[in-house]
Amino acid sequence: MSSSADFFAELGIQVPDVGQENVMVACFANPTAHVREDRNRSLSVHLPTGKWNCHGCGVAGNAYSAARMMGLDQRDAANLAKRHGLFRDDKPRMPTERQLKAWKLELLGNEKLLWRLYDLKGWTREAMWRCGLGWNGKRLTFAYRQYKPGYGTHLKVVGWGGYLPGGNPKCVAKGQRTLFPTPHGDVDRPMFVVEGEPAAISVRSCGHQAIAIPGAGGWRYEYVPSLVRFKRLVVVPDCDGPGRKLAEQIKECLPHATVADLDGEREDGWDIGDEIAQAASRFDGPWLHRFVGSLV
């Protein structure tokens, strides 16, 4: 058995012995984001290095990050990875603001792609620009930003993602995944809280404020200070068990929030982005604004 397989076994993750460098296991990073908690095994592990990537939810990392996700503290996670020869300082490089701007301009100049995204998702040029979307030639790009010590009032890029409608996976993320976009806005207007970055862009394309939680299992109590100041929070969960569980967690931490379930009978993951994309093919922009506003 390889040292990587031994390492994962100590975490309670059984790696199949199939004589290959890359093996598939159930997603341990974010199982609730998958149908039937990922019993079909969508996470691949590279045994020589211990690096892993979930093809379903897009989360990726190394041996150390796997140990952290399984509940070990920083010291124990580092020691376990080192003991199995898997400790690597491979912190992903963040794109510079100059690079992000170049990607934004690339998207803005691609009229064919802009129209395709409007036809497919109902996304407007203005919403994509304001959310910082770009195009790196392979995927739509966006950045996660946070205030960091030593940066004053400036936001630091802590992670970035790539999205491709119909891709496999649809979304990949590097670095720290957090609220998207950064929660600024008019505190007197409704703020829609949705699951997944694409859904936030869909709502913003209808002229409303929206913040995305990074996945069904992505809620953190540390998000409360950023959201509690908005007087009207409207949580729109995905139509499945994990999505509604996320809504319950948010409601528990932010009691003044209201939950708008799109269809209580559905369990197929249908979300507000799907609803908007479907409506956008039949109705104009002002109607979409009123449609989303009716959820308040």
pTM: 0.69
pLDDT of residue 71: 85
Q: What is the CA radius of gyration of the chain?
A: 20
Residue 183's pLDDT band, with cuts at 50, 70 and 90, is confident
pLDDT of residue 85: 83
pLDDT at residue 265 above 70?
yes
The domains located in the chain, with CATH, are 3-83 (3.90.580.10), 97-293 (3.40.1360.10)
pLDDT of residue 62: 86
Give all strands of the β-sheet with 233-235 in edge-to-edge order. 209-213, 191-195, 233-235, 258-259
pLDDT at residue 15 above 90?
no
* Contact yes or no for 53/24 (Cβ under 8 A): no
pLDDT at residue 34 above 50?
yes
Please, what's the largest Cα pairwise distance for the chain?
61
pLDDT at residue 198 above 80?
yes
For residue 58, the tally of other CB atoms under 10 A from its CB is 23
pLDDT at residue 2 above 60?
no
pLDDT of residue 111: 95
Measured distance CA(201)–CA(133) in Å, rounded: 9
pLDDT at residue 33 above 80?
no
Q: How far is CA 5 from the centre of its chain?
A: 28
Q: Give me the chain's average pLDDT, please.
A: 85
- Burial annotation 100-115 (CB, 10 A radius, 16+ → b, else e): beebbeebbeeeeebe
44-87 pLDDT, tens digit per residue, is 888 888 888 887 777 788 888 888 888 888 888 888 888 888 86
Measured distance CA(213)–CA(60) in Å, rounded: 18
pLDDT of residue 36: 63
Query: Mean pLDDT over residues 266-292, rounded?
Result: 74
Q: CA angle, 72 as apex, 225 and 80 as ends, to 5°?
A: 145
Per cent of the chain over pLDDT 90 is 35
pLDDT of residue 191: 94
200-227 pLDDT, tens digit per residue, is 999 999 899 999 998 888 888 889 999 9
pLDDT of residue 149: 61
Query: Mean pLDDT over residues 163-190, rounded?
Result: 86
pLDDT at residue 1 above 50?
no
Residue 75 sits at φ, ψ, to 5 deg, of: -65, -50
Measured distance CA(71)–CA(76) in Å, rounded: 10
pLDDT of residue 283: 57
pLDDT of residue 185: 85
DSSP-derived letter for residue 85 is: T
